[in-house]
A and B are shown apart, each in its own frame.
Chain A
Amino acid sequence: SYVLTQPPSVSVAPGQTARITCGGNNIGSKSVHWYQQKPGQAPVVVVYDDNDRPSGIPERFSGSNSGNTATLTISRIEAGDEADYSCQVWDRNSEHVVFGGGTKLTVL
């Protein structure tokens, strides 16, 4: 089955840029979606189809996807960005939705 690999944690200072990676075999051929989940809350999509943002999501959130790695980039980090972030794809071979293990973003 298809596997998505994320770093368990990323730490960044306020005002800096956070980059969260999502690794998968030839993930560049798939559409990648990213979710933000704060404690006690349901996930919210912050980037879909590799690099599109839903309405209401700040431009500070962006995505890229190429080769074996997709990346969620959050610029000008704020304290309110502290959350768990998960990537997700559809694997047509297995006909399964696949989530990455999630990355805890800590704002120092």
Chain B
Amino acid sequence: QVQLVESGGGVVQPGRSLELSCAASGFTFFSYGMHWVRQAPGKGLEWVAFIWYDGSTKYYADSVKGRFTISRDNSKNTLFLQMHTLRPEDTALYYCATDGVMAAHPPNWFDPWGQGTLVTVSS
């Protein structure tokens, strides 16, 4: 079955870096755009970044642009999010999610989602 498993979360000090991973299985990962979405404790969903199926196009939310980098390794069915200069407001559960349409542009709906990995930025 289709599965997305995030990892790499943890507690990190402000200003430091962290890299998240999302391992995909059960579908043709290389055919789909992928997203990162985050949810701060008790808050709503916030889109973070999108990468096209072949990695040629990337979009970022204004709140992370210049600090976060989305990438993928289609040979390993893995999505990444490099996060630099972390701030307390980056504290959230980070989900990876598959774009709902194969090789589509622009992005569509998200289906499925992983279960998330928690990032806490605190001194």
Contact = CB atoms under 8 A, between A and B. Distances in A.
Tell me the interface secondary structure of chain B in the complex: strand
Tell me the interface secondary structure of chain A in the complex: strand
B50 interface: yes
B45 A42 contact: no
A33 B113 contact: no
A99 B40 CA distance: 14
A54 B111 contact: yes
| Interface size, A (range) | 20 to 34
A97 B113 contact: no
Interface string A88-108: 101010011111111000000
Interface of A: 1, 31, 33, 35, 37, 42-45, 48-49, 54, 84, 86, 88, 90, 92, 95-102
Q: Which 6 A-B pairs have the closest CB atoms?
A: A33-B109, A97-B47, A102-B44, A42-B113, A48-B109, A99-B45
